[in-house]
């Protein structure tokens, strides 16, 4: 009897000693670290059960006449049906399956590092093949801007109409031609960045729209002959720089690019006259820069006559039959490859004699001749109108 009592006492003491808690096994990830390995019965339709559905023991009596007794049954639950069990599992335990953890937040995408003048020749994240030779890839020219005007129909429905092209030279500033926004109420202007196909919305990254908060045109702009054809559109808030939205670099004041082959972009017509059609997908054309003298000589062979003088606020590019910017491309940028493999803006589409005529270059606003004007106005307006000190940006 004493022996039995002693045994019972020792058993009671042993049961009172806290047992060492088994450490949780480390989580095992699968599917390129996107999913997690769990017991097969915890995975339903490829997603980990986190609310106990089908696994808990509900402590009520079964309903009369019911045939479902599993709700009050203790023990191992019925396995949850999972499509994951139909495949060979990459998990180390043969009873585990690879399953999506709904509580696990995906890692944030890497932060985009902005860089002016970065051209994405292969497109952003994908290259589209079998494109016509003059169509740009998505995000290839991330500084390209579409200047829009808001109008209202007879039914008071808001409509946005394309006005011209432009280029993002600062997260809050678009450079365009003064003739594009001449005599237009600035409060009706909007700018769209990151656009590519104007008729469809299947791009990988979305476009960004901003209202125009302030407009500066060159005080010596002449709307008849387009001398000093420069305008700065200040957005009401900066855009978020992304793979498909970034700035173009500005050249040095007075920098020349004669003989260089450069690129012009836009959604304008593919040819001059009634036969021309505006483009849905952004187009690109490669053009040689033509010297001031050669351009003037070529233009004198047209209806402009032998006494025509090319104003120094212009530069020229093209002169190759069938390759040119055209109607609707006004305000769009002409860019050349500069130092450090970055593109700099050398021109703004302004005017021409027809489009794509042999030995008749197109005429562009001469950006290198006005870099100081551009920077000075950007700095002063951002400070005066938006209370932003931009002096360290350039």
Residue with tokens 């001059």: 272
Q: Residue 13 has which token pair?
A: 């003491």
Element (H, E) at 384: helix 371-386
Report the alpha-carbon distance of residue 210 to residue 245 in Å, rounded. Answer: 13
Report the Cα–Cα distance between both ends of the chain, in Å, rounded: 97
d(CA 142, CA 164): 16
Q: The tokens of 163 are what?
A: 């006005």
Query: Which helix (H) or strand (E) segment is 365 a member of?
Result: strand 361-366
Mean pLDDT by 10 residues, the chain (394 residues): 53 51 74 89 93 87 57 49 56 91 82 93 69 76 94 86 94 97 94 82 80 97 97 97 96 94 80 50 91 96 97 95 82 93 96 90 97 97 95 90
> In the sheet that 29-30 helps form, which strands lie side by side, from edge to edge?
29-30, 35-39, 96-99
Residue 275: what are its φ and ψ, rounded to 5°? Answer: -75, -20
Nearest C-alpha neighbor of 240 from the set 117, 120, 111: 111
The pLDDT of residue 150 is: 92
User: How far is Cα 191 from Cα 196, in angstroms, rounded to an integer?
Assistant: 13
Helix, strand, coil shares of the chain, percent, nearest 5, are 15, 30, 55
Query: What is d(CA 137, CA 144) in angstroms, rounded to the nearest whole number?
Result: 12
Q: How far apart are CA 170 and CA 241, in angstroms?
A: 10
Question: What domains, with CATH codes, occur in the chain?
Answer: 27-52+89-107 (no CATH), 144-246+372-386 (2.40.10.10), 260-370 (2.40.10.10)
DSSP assignments along 8-60, one per residue: HHHHHHHHHSPPPPPPPPPP-EETTTTEEEEEGGGEETTEE--S-TTTS---S
pLDDT attached to residue 65? 57
Angstrom distance (rounded) from CA 378 to CA 169 = 10
Name the nearest CA neighbour of 345 among 247, 259, 273: 247
């Amino acid at each position: 009897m004493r022996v039995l009592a002693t045994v019972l006492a020792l058993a009671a003491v042993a049961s009172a000693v806290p047992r060492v808690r088994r450490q949780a096994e480390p989580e095992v990830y699968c599917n390129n670290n996107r999913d997690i390995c769990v017991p097969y019965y915890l995975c339903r339709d490829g997603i980990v059960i986190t609310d106990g559905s089908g696994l808990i023991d509900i402590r009520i009596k079964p309903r009369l006449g019911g045939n479902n007794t599993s709700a009050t049954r203790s023990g191992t639950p019925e396995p949850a049906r999972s499509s994951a069990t139909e495949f060979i599992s990459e998990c180390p335990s043969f009873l585990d399956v690879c399953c999506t953890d709904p509580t696990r937040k995906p890692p944030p995408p890497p932060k985009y590092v902005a860089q002016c003048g970065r051209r994405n020749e292969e497109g952003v994240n994908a290259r589209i093949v079998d494109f016509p030779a003059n169509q740009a890839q998505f995000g290839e020219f991330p500084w390209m801007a579409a200047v829009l005007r808001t109008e209202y129909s007879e039914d008071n429905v808001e409509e946005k109409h394309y006005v011209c092209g432009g280029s993002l030279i600062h997260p809050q500033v678009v450079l365009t031609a003064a003739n594009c926004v001449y005599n237009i109420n600035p409060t009706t202007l909007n700018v769209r960045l990151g656009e590519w196909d104007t008729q469809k919305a299947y791009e990988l990254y979305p476009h960004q729209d901003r209202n125009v908060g302030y407009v500066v045109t060159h005080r010596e702009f002449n709307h008849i002959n387009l001398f000093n054809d420069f305008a700065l559109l200040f957005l009401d808030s900066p855009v978020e720089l992304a793979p498909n939205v970034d700035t173009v670099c500005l050249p040095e004041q007075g920098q020349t690019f004669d003989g260089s082959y450069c690129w012009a972009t836009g959604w304008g017509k593919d040819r001059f006259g009634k036969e021309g059609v505006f483009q849905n997908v952004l187009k690109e054309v490669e053009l040689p820069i033509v010297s001031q003298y050669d351009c003037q000589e070529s233009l004198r062979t047209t209806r402009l006559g032998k006494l025509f003088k090319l104003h120094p606020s212009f530069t020229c590019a093209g002169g190759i039959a069938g390759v040119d910017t055209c109607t609707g491309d006004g305000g769009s940028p002409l860019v050349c490859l500069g130092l450090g493999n970055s593109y700099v803006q050398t021109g703004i589409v302004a005017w021409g004699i027809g489009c794509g005529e042999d030995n008749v270059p197109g005429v562009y606003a001469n950006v290198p001749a006005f870099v100081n004007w551009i920077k000075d106005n950007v700095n002063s307006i951002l400070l005066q109108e938006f209370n932003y000190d931009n002096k360290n940006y350039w």
